Amino acid sequence: MGVETDVTHLRPCFFTVLLLIGFTYLLILIPLTALAWEESSHFGVLEKVDGKNYHCDANYSWTKQAPFMISDSFKNDGTLPKSGRSYEHNWDNFRYISDSDGVIGFLPQRSVVRLINQKHQSYRDDQTFPKYTRLPVEVVSVPENDGHKFMETYHMELQKILKSDLDSAKAGSVGRIDARSLQPAGQFTYIISRPTFLTQVVGLDDTEAGRAKAVQLVTRGEDDDTEYEARKCCLGGDRSQCVYKYRWKILDNQLDEMGDFELNPFGDEGNDCGIMKSLRPVDKDQARPLLEFLEAIQANNANATIDDIEYVDSMGLVRFPFDHVSEDGFCAVEGPFNSSHYETGDACSTELYTDNFINVTSGCALTSVLKEWQNRYPSSRDEIQIGNMWHPKTWNVHSTHELSCDKKNTNCHSAQGTCIDIRPLSTDSARAGVTTGSGNYSRSRTREFIQLLRAAGADRVFFDGSRIPEANAIGGHADHIHVCFNPSNESVQNACAYGI
């Protein structure tokens, strides 16, 4: 007969042990669950980035890391011969990686570059660096409309503004650039030159893609305090190997937001579609007038893009869109909205071509005037004939196109690219030009046109025609109207943005 063991006194100990084990399990499980929940909140989505599995934040946050930088020009200026004025170049020196004092070539202004971390043979994650240094960069893209393809028609002085005597850097070039010549990506608007990426990557239909004219990174703050809205994606959850997917705004012709999208511009999607080569970075305050200029060009060439605008970023000047046509020994230069450039030579001269540069906002206001005039009078006999715009003194310009003053020669401001000469209107379609004493001079139509100039914000209108109170007679202006649009004038800006 076996011995019976009394275990009743062990039951409380048994349940106590179970309770202790359960409590210990909870102590371990709760932190692990919380940690897993925290990790899932950070890495809520498993996504493919560059063909690899990345854990991406579920929500957007703000980061100071810019996706790329835009080149500028720092204290890189020179004096044009005999002009007496100094102009900032539209480029900066591009230097050797191994010898920062040696110059390889030049980097056009508004090129897209990525900072290189030489030590790790990769791209720099941080955007903080000493300002007084020359940073290693890789060139992603250079502007296709920087004037180089039109260079052979430019005066030597303008060529020196646009390029150095060395070769231009190209996409894929590696070198050094002065840190003070680099600006963060968020300070610019990007005008779309080829919208195919909007259908292929973003998923817009053809109609919506046609309405989209520009994009901007979503940011907050300004200058050194600029932050970018993005989702962080890390390889296998490793926070030391991360990239950002940035949020972008899609903008229409009025720069109103019409949608958004997310993109790492240098990931598979961005590289495959060459997205950065489809975008032209411009200063934010220049985007709207440049888009209006593009519309003026498209009035004669529906397929024109931002690459067809000859824009000198460093000077804020754009070549007015005239097309040269030689007709029976007469140089007919057709412009937008029933305008033309007058010239009496045997052929379309280089002098004529380079005489067409104008401040982008002033020129935008002028196109608004031309557009309104064409709406009122679409007949060819109502063509507006345009003459001098901007060029340095060496190109035989009169001083009023360098400095704009009132008729008493006081109250002056810089007129670089803000003033235009326009012929008075005639009663017929003669292109030979008229004066106030010509039999075919039309005072009534000339006055109506001058009233439109004033409505667009013109602050200087000189013309010697009698009985036109909207103009000032100063002598020497019987055969042309001299008009200036000060781009800082709110009325000029409104005429550019909204028309007349």
Global pTM reads 0.80
Q: Which amino acid is at 121?
A: Q
Burial of residue 110, with CB atoms counted within 10 A of its CB: 0-12 exposed, 13-18 middle, 19 or more buried: buried
Q: Which two tokens stand for residue 110?
A: 């508004």
Question: How many Å apart are CA 23 and CA 116, to the nearest integer?
Answer: 52
Question: How many Å apart are CA 483 and CA 338, to the nearest integer?
Answer: 19
Greatest CA span in the chain, whole angstroms?
146
CA distances, 29 to each of 21, 176, 477 (Å) = 12, 53, 90
pLDDT at 446: 94
Question: How many Å apart are CA 393 and CA 285, to the nearest integer?
Answer: 28
pLDDT at 348: 54
What 3-state DSSP class applies to 240? coil
Q: Which residues pair with 227 in a beta bridge?
A: 220
pLDDT at 70: 92
- Looking up tokens 């050194």 gives 224
Q: Which residues pair with 77 in a beta bridge?
A: 88
Query: Which residues have a Cβ under 8 Å from the Cβ of 395 and sit 6 or more positions away?
Result: 155, 157, 351, 354, 355
Cβ neighbour number for residue 254 with a 10 Å cutoff: 11
Query: Which residues have a Cβ under 8 Å from the Cβ of 60 and sit 6 or more positions away?
Result: 229, 230, 231, 247
What 3-state DSSP class applies to 139? strand
Radius of gyration of the chain (CA): 31
Cβ proximity of 248 and 260 under 8 Å: yes
pLDDT at 289: 92
Extended beta strands in 40-192, E state: 45-49, 52-56, 61-63, 69-71, 77-79, 86-88, 91-95, 103-108, 112-117, 122-123, 134-141, 174-178, 182-184, 188-192
pLDDT at 2: 45
Q: Which two tokens stand for residue 256?
A: 């109103």
Query: Which residues have a Cβ under 8 Å from the Cβ of 49 and sit 6 or more positions away?
Result: 56, 233, 243, 245, 264, 267, 268
Q: Which residues pair with 357 in a beta bridge?
A: 319, 390
The region, left, alpha or beta by phi > 0 then psi within -120 to 50, assigned to residue 475 is: left
What 3-state DSSP class applies to 381? helix
pLDDT at 347: 47
Residues of the chain with pLDDT under 70: 1-44, 48-50, 74-88, 118-132, 145-160, 237-238, 265-274, 324-332, 343-355, 391-415, 430
Please tell me the number of Cα atoms within 13 Å of 295 on its side-chain side. Answer: 21
Question: How many Å apart are CA 397 and CA 482, to the nearest integer?
Answer: 13
